[in-house]
Amino acid sequence: METVATISAVRERVQAWRRAGARVVFVPTMGNLHAGHVSLIETARRYGERFVSSIFVNPMQFGPNEDFAHYPRTPHEDERMLADAGCDLMFMPDVAEIYPHGSERAARVEVPGLSRILEGEFRPGHMEGVSTVVAKLFHIVEPDVAVFGEKDFQQLTVIRRMVTELCMRVEIVGAPTLRDTDGLALSSRNQYLTAAERKLAPVIFRTLTAAAARVRSGDADFASIERFGFQELERAGLRPDYFSVRRAEDLATPSADARALVILTAARLGKARLIDNVQVARPGD
Ligand code: PAF
């Protein structure tokens, strides 16, 4: 695997592969890789012949009081993990390469409706930061396919919509969430948890699973399911931001006849803010 830091080096490698007829698959990340990221590369391998991953902690998607400065950075381990996973090119730019005029003055890409709900309500500007950097990375790498984890379900939905709206040529693939044996979704932010908090954290997936079981059994009182989930998390000692039942396709509030749903939550536990979701199909008539 080769590691490069400039846009021109990425373009040169990718163009050569494309001339040779290879399909290029891209996995953007913020580094501090874990098994969940490796599984994204494994998914990527089903869609092409050449694999690019980026490691870039994107300042634009962090709020002023968030963990940008402290976000874990482990470039050497990341490089080893990507090489072992069969990645061909690791793109690790510095901030000035991506935001030559600073991230505050950068041109922006936004998907207004989808960006401002759920995460957007609690992390203003976050989704705009994600769509902007992903659009930039797509212009740099020009992949045929890009893989994103379903753990960040709203992010995946925003990116799919951005790609459709802006007529981008890339195919977006969602990869299932990887979980620890007790159900906790793998995330770089799990390392902010103390040992006691780590023991508590699987309540998030247990509560989502219980809520999904209610939906699956035909319960269409989504407001009551949302209250149940929120209160369960509070009772366990977490501080939930939201626990919400939405239409999987576009994250709209579901009507009683909606079939494909997703239940999403974000909750704070100690220093960590954890997000998770489960998709659920409602029974047909
Ligand atoms: O999911 C992430 O790691 C980031 O939000 C992404 C997509 C790499 C954009 O910075």
- pTM higher than 0.95 for the full model? yes
CB of 275 sitting under 6 A from ligand 1: no
Which residue positions in the chain have pLDDT lower than 50?
none
pLDDT in tens, 109-155: 999 999 999 999 999 999 999 999 999 999 999 999 999 999 999 99
CB of 172 sitting under 6 A from ligand 1: no
The gap between the terminal CA atoms of the chain, to the nearest Å, is 52
Q: Tell how far the Cα of 219 is from the centroid of ligand 1, in angstroms.
A: 34
Q: What pLDDT is recorded for position 283? A: 84
Nearest-atom number in ligand 1 for the CA of 58 is: 10
Q: What pLDDT is recorded for position 285? A: 60
CB of 30 sitting under 6 A from ligand 1: yes
CB of 29 sitting under 6 A from ligand 1: yes
Annotated active-site residue in 34, 37, 70, 76 = 37
Phi, psi of 239 (to 5 degrees): -115, 90
Q: Tell how far the Cα of 21 is from the centroid of ligand 1, in angstroms.
A: 28
Q: What pLDDT is recorded for position 192? A: 96
Nearest-atom number in ligand 1 for the CA of 28 is: 8
Cα 80 versus chain centre, distance: 22
| CATH code of the domain occupying 2-175 | 3.40.50.620
pLDDT in tens, 37-53: 999 999 999 999 999 99
103 and 136 in contact (C-beta within 8 Å)? no
CB of 40 sitting under 6 A from ligand 1: no
CB of 134 sitting under 6 A from ligand 1: yes
Residues of the chain with CATH 3.40.50.620: 2-175
Q: Tell how far the Cα of 29 is from the centroid of ligand 1, in angstroms.
A: 5
Q: Tell how far the Cα of 134 is from the centroid of ligand 1, in angstroms.
A: 8
Q: What pLDDT is recorded for position 256? A: 86
Q: Minimal CA–CA distance to 171: which of 12, 4, 1, 46?
A: 46
Homologous superfamily in CATH for domain 188-280:
Pantoate-beta-alanine ligase, C-terminal domain (3.30.1300.10)
Residues of the chain with CATH 3.30.1300.10: 188-280
Per-residue buried b or exposed e for 65-94, using 16+ beta carbons within 10 Å of the residue's own CB? eebeeebeeeeeebbebbeebebbbbbbbe
Catalytic: 126? no
Residue minimizing CA distance to atom 3 of ligand 1: 29
Q: Tell how far the Cα of 130 is from the centroid of ligand 1, in angstroms.
A: 6
